[in-house]
Amino acid sequence: MRTLIKGVTVVSMSTEREEPFTGDILIEEDRIADIQPCIEAEVDEVIPGKGMAAMPGLINAHQHTPMSLLRGFSDDLKLMDWLSRKMLPAEARMSPEDIYWGAQLAMAEMIKSGTTAFADMYIHMNEIAAAVEEAGMRASLTRGLVFLENDGGRRMSEAMDLIHRWSGKAEGRITTMLGPHSPYTVPPEPFRELIALAEQEDIPIHTHLAETVEEVVRIRERYHQTPTQYLYQLGLFEKAHVVLAHGVQLNRRDIGYLRGMRGGVCHNPVSNLKLGCGIAPVTDMLQQGVAVGLGTDGAGSASTLDMFQEIRCAAWLQKLDYGDPARLPAMDALRMATVGSAKLLNLSHEVGRLEAGMKADLILIDLQKPHLQPLHDVPSLLAYSAVGADVDTTIVNGKVLMRGRRLLTIDEEELFRQVSVRAQRIVEGV
């Protein structure tokens, strides 16, 4: 299958082409074959790109997809109250089928707002993997692991089953990681065992880190260290490729521990703002050479999975926090959602940039909107003005998942019917 996108404004995120330009994109099977000002070739399909911007698909580096069923259910609560009083009791009621439909709902929202790949941490991961395979997205999947109870062995068995069953499946769109939930839910010994396994089997690790002041206090009382120092002393950053979700409560010494690590930190500005967690020191991390990507966290906390909102929020928060409008400029914020997140998911060689040889994961954004005119600076418009609903077409692995705002791999009518019934049952009485 050969597809040609004609006359589109290309925002490549490539270091070789900093400025947007008008050109054509040739896709052969699942990869970008060429990008030039004009391409003449025999193709199976031509997609008109006039009035559109093409950019790499956005990459959501930290998610809990089934929590889309809990959107709006427990707003305006502190994190620990939100978790213990609402989220955990409701999640305990979720069946594997609920997990599947919650993941479908999240993927429908992500596809329609320009996200082509995501990292997920949850339970019943086989159901989520099946939903990913059907929807056509790219995903890094992780079974969340908590070792404060006696069923840690069962959870570990489920984590390894996910890795053995799904790594490289769905035309290579599914990858996997190990998922120790956080420093406060995984004691030192099982954490060391997971790190050793990750090093031995070359499996990345996805975990939460320093999301709240309460977490910092708890770890200091327990281990006389910051959460970051705790993980550093365990050898995590030296021995594994790591995705660290949040990284809000980091001091300068903590950032120093992260220097040179493989992977990096996933910034979740909307969720962190909504839960009052604080502002992550993003520009300090970037200046120290720490890779930073973007994610939404679950819809149960963030309410939205629109990565354009995360891009805008990330940039504005750094400007506000430092009183400096030059902090985290538009192109850097866009890179976090593409190049940065790709590095976190260990997929930099495949996605995050529009270049010949890369996977054909890209989106077309309709610029013919009042809030996206005039076109003085397209990257600035994308970072500060665009919203997910401006995405017209979403392509993953060379396959069109949405065109003209219409989903092609998910039946929205059936999805909404399933979600309505299941969400009502899950939260009733909680």
Percentage of the chain exceeding pLDDT 70: 99
Q: State yes or no: pLDDT of 137 exceeds 90.
A: yes
H/E stretch holding 106 reads: helix 96-112
Q: Residue 253 carries which side chain, given as an amino acid letter?
A: R
Q: State yes or no: pLDDT of 152 exceeds 70.
A: no
Domain 2-56+357-407 matches domain 58-344 at the CATH topology level: no
Average pLDDT over residues 297-315: 96
**Could you state, in order of their start, the residue ranges of all structural domains in the chain?**
2-56+357-407, 58-344
Using alpha carbons, select from 179, 148, 147, 149 the residue that is nearest to residue 163.
Answer: 179
Average pLDDT over residues 313-317: 98
Within 8 A by CB and 6+ apart from 99, the residues are 66, 122, 123, 124, 127, 128
Look up the CATH number of domain 58-344: 3.20.20.140
Q: In this structure, what token pair is assigned to residue 122?
A: 């949850």
Do the beta carbons of residue 217 and residue 253 sit within 8 Å?
no
**pLDDT for res 153:** 79
In which band, very low, low, confident or very high, does the pLDDT at 358 lie, cut at 50, 70 and 90? very high
In which band, very low, low, confident or very high, does the pLDDT at 339 lie, cut at 50, 70 and 90? very high
Q: State yes or no: pLDDT of 17 exceeds 80.
A: no
Residue-wise burial string across 163-172, b where 16 or more C-beta atoms lie within 10 A, e elsewhere: beebbeebee
Superfamily the domain 2-56+357-407 falls into: Urease, subunit C, domain 1 (2.30.40.10)
| Lowest-pLDDT range of 24-33, 84-93, 254-263, 330-339 | 84-93
**pLDDT for res 430:** 82
Q: State yes or no: pLDDT of 48 exceeds 70.
A: yes
**pLDDT for res 87:** 87
Within 8 A by CB and 6+ apart from 407, the residues are 108, 111, 112, 401
Region at 328 (left for phi over 0; alpha for psi -120 to 50; beta for the rest): left
Average pLDDT over residues 400-408: 98
Q: Residue 291 carries which side chain, given as an amino acid letter?
A: A
Average pLDDT over residues 323-348: 98
Q: State yes or no: pLDDT of 372 exceeds 70.
A: yes
Residue 287, class by beta-carbon neighbours within 10 Å (0-12 exposed, 13-18 middle, 19+ buried)?
A: exposed
- The position carrying tokens 């050793």 is 196
pLDDT tens digits, residue range 195-250? 999 999 999 999 999 999 999 999 999 999 999 999 999 999 999 999 999 999 99
Q: Residue 14 carries which side chain, given as an amino acid letter?
A: S
Average pLDDT over residues 263-277: 96
Separation between Cα atoms, residue 264 and residue 290, nearest integer Å: 6
pLDDT tens digits, residue range 288-298? 999 999 999 99
Q: In this structure, what token pair is assigned to residue 206?
A: 């996805």
Q: State yes or no: pLDDT of 151 exceeds 90.
A: no
Question: What is the average pLDDT value for the chain, to the nearest integer?
Answer: 96
In which band, very low, low, confident or very high, does the pLDDT at 74 lie, cut at 50, 70 and 90? confident
